[in-house]
Amino acid sequence: MIELSNLILLLVVLINFYTLGTSRLVACIRAVAIQGGLLALLPLVAHGLSLHTLILAFWALLIKAILIPTLLTRTIREVRIHREIEPLVGFVPTLALGALVTSGAFIFANYLPLIAEHRGSLFIPTALATFFSGFLLLMTRRKAITQVVGYLILENGIFIFGILLSEAMPLMVEAGVLLDMLVGIFVMGIVINQISREFSTMNTGRLSALKE
């Protein structure tokens, strides 16, 4: 079982890199959907089959892998954006930063005061790496959609962390899934308000007009 979960976790890390490096939004969203699907498997793999893990997996699959990616794809179609052009930090530097952050996460995880059974497992470093990659995406991209994707990845990082705790603190994990609903509402907000049909004004940079 451990090999399987490690495989999933490695795939998750690879997907992080993919989203950091690609400029195509559709690919980005698909990658996140796959990542969500992989994560939905994790509770089953890590804790075995039980009602609680099944429910958790079901909701994660429904929300992370199906619902939100569908909404995002539809949004893209409606506002006709396909590429992230001129990110704040270029793709190659972001990738490099991502690699740095990921390796940092792996080193850092060794220093964490973990309980014995979590020591050496890939869960914690992957969670941290995913979390930081999401953050990186949020910080370096301009388009609202990419930011939503970044937020989703960040959320996935928290979810991986939460799986370790899902026995101890079920509420935290479920609240994490609920956070995804928040993203869903975010997306709906973009669709409904349609910040504009125009290409340029989907930039969140315009939000700086809100500064006093």
Partner 1 sequence: MNLLLAAIALLMSGALMSLIAGRRQNLAYTFALTAISGAAFLIAGAVMPLLLHPQTLIASHNWLVPGGTFALSVDPLAAFFLLPIAILPPLAAIYAGAYLKDDGKSRNLAPHWALYALLMASLIMVVMAANVLLFIAAWEIMTISSFFLVSYDHQHSEVREAAWLYLLVAHFGLLLITAFFLLAGSHCGSLNFVDFAPLTQAGPTLTAILFLLALGGFGIKAGLFPFFVWLPAAHPVAPSHVSALMSGLVVNAGLYGVLRAMLLLPPLSALWGAIILTLGLLGALYGIAMAMLQKDVKRCLAYSTVENIGIIFMGIGLGVLATAQQLPVVAALAFAGALLHIWNHTLFKGLLFLGAGTLLHATGTRNLDQMGGLLKRMPQAGLLIIGGSVALAALPPLNGFASEWLIYLGLLHAGVAMSGVSALGISMVLVLFGIVGTLAVVTFTRLIGIALLGEARSPAAAKAHDATPAMLWPMRLLLLGCLLIGLLPQLTLHLLTPVLNQMTPTAVPELNATFAQSGQIGLWGMILCAALIIVALLLTALQRRRPTTPATTWGCGFPRPTARMAYTAESYSGIAHHHLLPQALQPKLSTKRPRSLFPATVQFFQHSQEALLQRCYQPLFSALAERCVRLRWLQQGKQHLYLLYIFICCAGLMLWNILADKGL
Among 3, 48, 111, 115, binds partner 1 (CB under 8 A): 111
CB 65 within 8 A of CB 15: no
We find the least distance from the C-beta atom of residue 146 to partner 1, in angstroms, to be 11
We find the least distance from the C-beta atom of residue 4 to partner 1, in angstroms, to be 29
Q: Does 59 help bind partner 1 (rule: CB under 8 A)?
A: no
Among 133, 140, 156, 166, binds partner 1 (CB under 8 A): 140
Nearer to partner 1 among residue 26 and residue 139 (C-beta): 139
Residues 77-96 that bind partner 1 (CB under 8 A): 88
Dist. CA 61–CA 116, nearest whole Å: 30
Among positive and negative, which fits the CA dihedral 15, 17, 20, 22?
Answer: negative
38 Cβ contact list (under 8 Å, min separation 6): 8, 11, 12, 15
Closest CA to 80 of 178, 205, 201, 184: 201
CB 28 within 8 A of CB 73: no
CB 73 within 8 A of CB 29: yes
Task: Quote the tokens at residue 167.
Answer: 């026995």
Q: Does 170 help bind partner 1 (rule: CB under 8 A)?
A: yes
CB 186 within 8 A of CB 72: no
Q: Does 178 help bind partner 1 (rule: CB under 8 A)?
A: no
Q: Does 192 help bind partner 1 (rule: CB under 8 A)?
A: no
Q: Does 171 help bind partner 1 (rule: CB under 8 A)?
A: yes
Residues 114-133 that bind partner 1 (CB under 8 A): 132
Nearer to partner 1 among residue 194 and residue 204 (C-beta): 204
Dist. CA 180–CA 33, nearest whole Å: 13
Q: Does 139 help bind partner 1 (rule: CB under 8 A)?
A: yes
Site for partner 1, rule CB under 8 A: 88, 108, 111-113, 132, 135, 138-140, 147, 169-172, 204-205, 207-211
